[in-house]
Structures are given as structure tokens and as C-alpha cells.
Structure 1
Amino acid sequence: MKNKKMNWNRIKLNMKNVYQLTITIGCLFCFSGCALHDGITNYFNSTDHYLNFKQDQRVMYEPGAEEFAATAASELPLAIKKVESRQYSTFSDKIMIYVTKTPESFKKMTGRGVSAMMYRKSIFLSPKLLEKPDTIKLYIAHELSHLHLHQHLGDYAYLGIPSWFLEGLAAFVSDGGGAENVTDDEVMESIRSGNHFIPFENSGLRDLFRPRYASYFKIRHKFKHHLFYRQCMLFVSFLENEHPAQFKKFIIDLKNGIDFSDSFRISFEADAMTKWNEFKTKIIES
């Protein structure tokens, strides 16, 4: 009887570990616009072949990517300062940046074909960024915004933050990282025409399997993901500009573990949809 009980406890412990791992992998992919099944196998790829960048031990790089690593290292201090200032606290854990040599090696590590990604509690950078060197600092700050919140919240609580706010905050903090291919005027026109996202407040396990990004909202544009990010960014910017003290309280409450919906309603004395309608009305009347 004692052995059976011990075995059952071991099974429950293993199931809990599997569940936690699924949440960890899933939430990282969910808020990078990727479905859960795309990322599980890549999660276990080794980073042992990455080399330390001597001038900044927070930066690792694949052989052959040292020049890219030097650029990333030079942009890192200011990006960290920007995120800590605009998100009202320091990072609570170490920061690690992995610089890949080729887009193929980036995809092999992350399962994605994007330019940058917060993944495995670190940041991965693709040499796609070298096509537009001026955007490197933007993307580093964007991904640092995600990492900063993730460090403070942990896997499960991070999963509870809606994608529109995560991406809007990251684009806002980074001065447009991930949204640089569209203009504010394009965003305002898209909102006037009804081609926009809806600021939902609840996020969770369902978003692991169907992330709510541009495609979910049927946003139409050549650069639909950039349009989605910039729409989110301008809404977050509106909240911060119109209600700076409340916005700060909201971010701090989130990091203290208060539910997104509760934090939003307590801080702004309204739900997200009400504030969105105020934002939308301001654009329509402009």
C-alpha cells in the first residue's frame, strides 16, 4: 500500500512537471504569435555551441556572428535603461542575448522565421535585422520588454496578459520595434475603417492554441503584423499619455500579480473596451 501511494505521488508530480513545461513553452510561443505545436521540439535544442562575447558576458553568439554580437552588445545598455524606466522597475533576473549567424540557425533554435524573439527566458536575434541596422536597437528593446514582464510575472501569470497589451507595450517602450513598416496615419485610417483588433481582457490556455494576433482579427494589410503592433502601440501610448499616474499604477499592479482585468479596471476606472472606444472616438474626430 505504501509503495502504491509513493508511485501515485510520483505520477502526480511528473504530471505537474509536464503541465508546467507545457505552460512554459506554450506561453512563450503564444505571445510570439506562434502556436504551441510549432515550438516544443525546438525548445530542447542546445545552445552549447554559442560563444561568450568578451566585452559583454550577457551576449552569446554563434561562430561567425561576432560583428553582429558587437552591435547587439553596444545597443543593450540603453535598451535595458529604456525598459526599466518605462516599465517602472529593474530586471529581476539575468539577461541573456543569443545572436544567431543565419536565419536558418535562428529558425532551428526557435521554430520561427521572425527577426527577434523572447524565448527560453532569453532573447534570440536573427541576422535578418542586419538588413535594416537601425532597427536592431528597436527589436532588442521590444524583446526586453517581454523578458522584463516575464521575469516579474513567471510563466502562468504572463500567459494571462492579452497579446495586444504585451505587443503594444513592447512597441511603445521600444519606440516602434516590430511596427516600423507602417505609419501612424495608416493606423488611424485602419481604425476609422474598422480594420483593427479588439482589446479583449481575458487570456489563458486557449491562446496557446489560437493566439490572438493580426490573423485572428482578420486585419488586412501588406504588413498586417506591423499594423496590428502599431495599433496596439498607439492604444497603449494613449493610455499612458491620457492617464500617466494610472498607467504607472496599472503596470506596477500587474507585476505584483494582480489579474489583468482587475488591474485595468481599478487603475483606469473603466474596462479596456471603454477606453478603446474613447481612443477610437478621438481618432475618428481628428
Structure 2
Amino acid sequence: MIRKKKLAVTAVLVLTGIMVYLFLFGKLFAYSPVIIGFEKHELTHSIIYFQKGVTFDDYQKIDTLIPRVEKFHELAFRRKPEILLFSDSISYLRRSLSRARFCAFYNGRIFASPWALKEAQNGKISLEIYITHELSHSLLHQHSGLINAAGYPKWLMEGIAVYSADQMGTSVYPGREETYRMMKSRNFMPPTVFKTKNEDNIKLDVENRISFMYSEFACIVDYLVEKYGKEKLLVYMKNLTKGNDHDTIFRQIYGTDFERMLVDFRQYVLLNAESETTDINKQPAPATNEKNAGPI
């Protein structure tokens, strides 16, 4: 009996040690109540943490982005977004969930990699645009909560972020016209397939797969705004933070099925990829197959 108790205590201690390590130095660091190895700067709208060695110090520039993000989304941050600036690549990769330049977590925290800060310093990317993109995620994550944030449509999350940050046509992201041309050339990622096990089965003949998909989703958001108005987009966006069924919410707000909208959108792209006009009301005849949301 005593031996069993010792083993149980040992197991608990080991598991506790592992969890403490993960929260302080591993993949759960984004959710840690304690931030070790970073200096804290609390500003009017945000909290900036930076590792020793970070040369970027214009924190006020980041802080001014928060009101702009809130204005576009017509939502206020429930708590100041926390942005962590890394100087050490190994530390970033150990604590981040991806190798991307930036990473936004379901609790609203944002990580900025050392190479992203360097690229911004060298003028390769706009730090303001990228941080604005991540702040869009952070804001929606805060309003969704952990569970609903995990279930929020991934394509819409990225489409709104790119659209609101005016990111199309900057850095590696193709602009609207270029994205239209690529879609006309039989490139299309069905939104519901994005971030699923079937995503890799969709072939895309594009230079940068990720940036194309993000611009494609931003084009869908742009289409919804131009055709139905931004107010409906915001209602759609906010309703989904409550964990509501996507297809039901879309139909209630837009008066059409999501798949039907995608068919109309792709026809609109085909029409406007061939002309200089982008009249959103100039639509071709309806397609006969409403489920044709895959590659043309």
C-alpha cells in the first residue's frame, strides 16, 4: 500500500513538473499566468512584453492599432491584448504553435517572431499590417472564448483579418485582381476544406499557397461587403463568436445558402477577371449545380 502511494505521489509530481515546464517554457506558454524572461510595458490599449535583445521599441505605434481594429469590427477588447516580442528563435519555436511570423492564441495573446521583427526593420514587411491582422484574431478570440474560438470558421477568421488589415497586395499577399486571375485559372480552396485533413488534397497551382488562400478568403469577405453591406458582415461575424451553427446563421442573415453564395462568388470572379469593371451587381446567370464549390 505504501509503495502504491509513493508511486502515485511520484506520478503526480512528475506530471505537475511537466505541466509547469509547458506553461513556463513550452507550448502552453501562451496560457501561462506568469511570463518569465520578458520585460513588461503596459500602455493605454495594450500590454507589450519583450525579450532581452529585441531592438524594436516603438510600442506606441502598436498601441495605436487597437482603436483602429475595434472601429472596423465594431467590437471592443474585453481586456488589453498582450503582444509578446521574441528575440530568440529557439525560444519562439519552443513556445509557439507554428513557424509562422506571428501566432495568435485563443486567449487573445499574440507572439511576434524574431525574424518578423527583423523583416519589418528591413522594410520587407509592414509590422503595422501584420499586427493589425493578428489583433483581428485576438479580438474575435476574446469575444468567442476558448471553446467557440476553436470552432470559429478558420477561413472567415483569416478573410476578415486580411480584409480589415488591407493586406491584399502587400508583401507576399496577392491583390484582388491577381487573386481573381489565379482563381480563373482553376485555383480555388473551398472555405469549408481549409484547415481540415482534406486541405492537402486540393491542388493549387500558385507560387505561395498560404498567401493565395488568405487573399481568396479576403476576396470572399470583400464580395459579401460589396454585395450585401458591411453591417451584415459584422452581424454574421459576431453571431459566430457565440458558437452558433454557421450555415444556419449565414442563411438567416444573407437569405441564401453558403454554398449558393460561393457559386455566385466564383461566377462573379470569372466575369470580372476578364474585364476592368467590378460592378458587384453585374452577375451572370445562376449555375445549375449549387454544390459546385470545389475547383472549377
Please report the TM-score for the alignment, with normalisation by the length of structure 1.
0.74
CA distance in 1, matches of 2:29, 2:113: 19
The one-letter amino acid of 1:63's match is: K
CA distance in 2, matches of 1:111, 1:255: 22
**Which has more radius of gyration?**
2
CA deviation map 1:57-103 (0-9, x unaligned): 700000111x32x23x2332332122212212101223100000033
Please report the TM-score for the alignment, with normalisation by the length of structure 2.
0.72
1:152, 1:255 within 8 Å by CA — same for their partners in 2? yes
User: Quick one: which of 162, 186, 189 aligns to 2:181?
Assistant: 189
CA deviation map 1:136-183 (0-9, x unaligned): 111111111111111111122122222111111111111117973123
Mark the runs of 5 or more structure 1 residues left unpaired by the alignment.
Answer: 1-20, 22-39
CA distance in 1, matches of 2:153, 2:42: 38
Other structure's SS at 1:61 match: strand
1:99, 1:124 within 8 Å by CA — same for their partners in 2? yes
CA distance in 2, matches of 1:279, 1:242: 10
Residue of structure 2 equivalent to 1:59: 48
Other structure's SS at 2:49 match: strand
CA distance in 2, matches of 1:255, 1:49: 33
Higher relative helix content? 1
Over the matched positions of the two proteins, sequence identity in percent amounts to 21
Mark the runs of 5 or more structure 2 residues left unpaired by the alignment.
Answer: 1-18, 20-24, 273-296
Q: Where do residues 38-49 of structure 1 align in structure 2 (5 Å cutoff)?
A: 42-44=27-29, 47-49=35-37
Q: In the alignment, is residue 274 of structure 1 matched against residue 260 of structure 2?
A: yes
Higher relative contact order (CA 8 A, sep 6+): 1
CA distance in 2, matches of 1:107, 1:268: 41
CA distance in 2, matches of 1:179, 1:191: 19
CA distance in 2, matches of 1:128, 1:283: 35
2:184, 2:270 within 8 Å by CA — same for their partners in 1? yes
Across the aligned residues of Structure 1 and Structure 2, the Cα RMSD in angstroms comes to: 2.9
CA distance in 2, matches of 1:48, 1:108: 14
User: Quick one: which of 18, 25, 38 aligns to 1:50?
Assistant: 38
